[in-house]
Amino acid sequence: MELRNQQRSERHQWFNSVGILFGVLFAAGSLLSTGLALRTARDDLRTSRDNLRVAQESQLTDRYAKTLEALASGDTTIRLGAIHAFNRLLADSPRDRAAIAALLTGFVRDHDPADDVKDRDLPVGPTVDLAAALTTVALNPHPVPPLDLHHIRVPNALLDDAHFSNANLRGANLRGAELHHANLNGADLSGTDLRGTRLSSANLRGAKLTCTPLGGTGQSKANSDLTCTKLRGSNLGGADLRGALLCVAYLKNAYLGGAVLSQADLSQANLNGATLEGANLNRAVLSIADLRGADLRGANLNNTALYGADLRGAKLNNTDLRGTALYGADLRGIDLSGTNLKYAILYDASRRGVYERRTNLHGANLRDANLHGTDLSGKALNNADLSGTDLSGANLNRADLRGADLRGADLRGANLTGANLSGVRNSPGKDAIRRIAVTDAATRW
Dihedral sign of CA atoms 84, 179, 144, 188 in order: positive
Distance CA 168, CA 189 (A): 7
Structure confidence at residue 145 (pLDDT): 95
Distance CA 103, CA 83 (A): 10
Top pLDDT among 265 and 217 is at: 265
Q: Which of 5-14, 19-28, 196-205, 334-343 has the highest mean pLDDT?
A: 196-205
Under DSSP, is residue 290 helix (H, G, I), strand (E, B) or coil?
A: strand
Worst-scoring range by mean pLDDT, 51-55, 76-80, 82-86, 413-417? 51-55
- Do 165 and 205 form a contact (C-beta atoms < 8 A)? no
The pLDDT tens digits of the residues spanning 272-328 come to: 999 999 999 999 999 999 999 999 988 998 889 888 888 888 888 778 777 787 777
Average pLDDT over residues 122-129: 91
Distances (CA, A) of 333 to 42, 362, 390: 80, 6, 19
Distances (CA, A) of 191 to 168, 174, 242: 11, 11, 11
Structure confidence at residue 223 (pLDDT): 59
DSSP 266: -
Q: Would you place residue 242 in the very low, low, confident or very high pLDDT band (cuts 50, 70, 90)?
A: confident
| Predicted TM-score (pTM) of this structure | 0.68
Average pLDDT over residues 261-274: 92
**Does residue 228 carry a pLDDT above 70?**
yes
Structure confidence at residue 122 (pLDDT): 87
Worst-scoring range by mean pLDDT, 22-26, 117-121, 132-136, 139-143? 22-26
Average pLDDT over residues 197-201: 83
**Does residue 229 carry a pLDDT above 90?**
no
- Do 358 and 328 form a contact (C-beta atoms < 8 A)? yes
Number of structural domains found in the chain? 1
193 in a structural domain: no
**Does residue 214 carry a pLDDT above 60?**
no
Q: Which residues fall within 8 angstroms of residue 1, CB to CB, at 6 or more apart?
A: none
Distances (CA, A) of 242 to 57, 215, 388, 417: 48, 19, 35, 42
The pLDDT tens digits of the residues spanning 243-264 come to: 888 888 888 898 999 988 998 8
Q: Which residues fall within 8 angstroms of residue 14, CB to CB, at 6 or more apart?
A: none
Distance CA 289, CA 307 (A): 9
Structure confidence at residue 62 (pLDDT): 82
Average pLDDT over residues 61-90: 89
Q: Which of 146, 143, 26, 55 is nearest to 95 (CA)?
A: 143
> Which amino acid would we find at residue 341?
L
DSSP 359: P
201 in a structural domain: no
DSSP 319: -
> Which amino acid would we find at residue 175?
R
Task: Express the helix, strand and coil content of the chain in percent, nearest 5 each.
Answer: 30, 15, 60
12 in a structural domain: yes
Q: Which of 112, 167, 172, 95 is nearest to 138 (CA)?
A: 167
Distance CA 164, CA 107 (A): 17
**Does residue 53 carry a pLDDT above 70?**
no
Structure confidence at residue 50 (pLDDT): 62
List of long-range contacts for 322-328, beta carbons under 8 Å, 24+ apart:
322/370, 326/359, 327/354, 327/355, 327/359, 328/354, 328/355, 328/357, 328/358, 328/359
Under DSSP, is residue 159 helix (H, G, I), strand (E, B) or coil?
A: coil
Worst-scoring range by mean pLDDT, 36-50, 79-93, 374-388? 36-50
**Does residue 104 carry a pLDDT above 80?**
yes
Tell the burial category of 194 from Cβ atoms under 10 Å away from its Cβ (0-12, 13-18, 19+). buried
Percentage of the chain beyond pLDDT 90 is 35
Average pLDDT over residues 359-372: 74
**Does residue 42 carry a pLDDT above 80?**
no
Residues forming a β-bridge with 385: 365, 405
Average pLDDT over residues 417-431: 92
The pLDDT tens digits of the residues spanning 162-187 come to: 999 999 999 899 988 999 889 998 89
Under DSSP, is residue 210 helix (H, G, I), strand (E, B) or coil?
A: coil
Domain containing 83: what range? Answer: 1-148
- Do 385 and 405 form a contact (C-beta atoms < 8 A)? yes
Dihedral sign of CA atoms 183, 185, 187, 193 in order: positive
107 in a structural domain: yes
Q: Which of 65-69, 92-96, 113-117, 164-168 has the highest mean pLDDT?
A: 164-168
288 in a structural domain: no
289 in a structural domain: no
**Does residue 40 carry a pLDDT above 90?**
no
Average pLDDT over residues 343-368: 56
Q: Which of 195-199, 320-324, 358-362 has the highest mean pLDDT?
A: 195-199
100 in a structural domain: yes
Q: Would you place residue 353 in the very low, low, confident or very high pLDDT band (cuts 50, 70, 90)?
A: very low
**Does residue 8 carry a pLDDT above 50?**
yes
Distances (CA, A) of 230 to 6, 100, 176, 211, 271: 109, 32, 10, 21, 11
Other CB atoms within 10 A of residue 357 CB: 17
Worst-scoring range by mean pLDDT, 24-33, 73-82, 141-150, 204-213? 204-213
The pLDDT tens digits of the residues spanning 399-423 come to: 999 999 999 999 999 999 999 999 9
127 in a structural domain: yes
Structure confidence at residue 224 (pLDDT): 66
Average pLDDT of every residue of the chain: 82
Other CB atoms within 10 A of residue 186 CB: 19
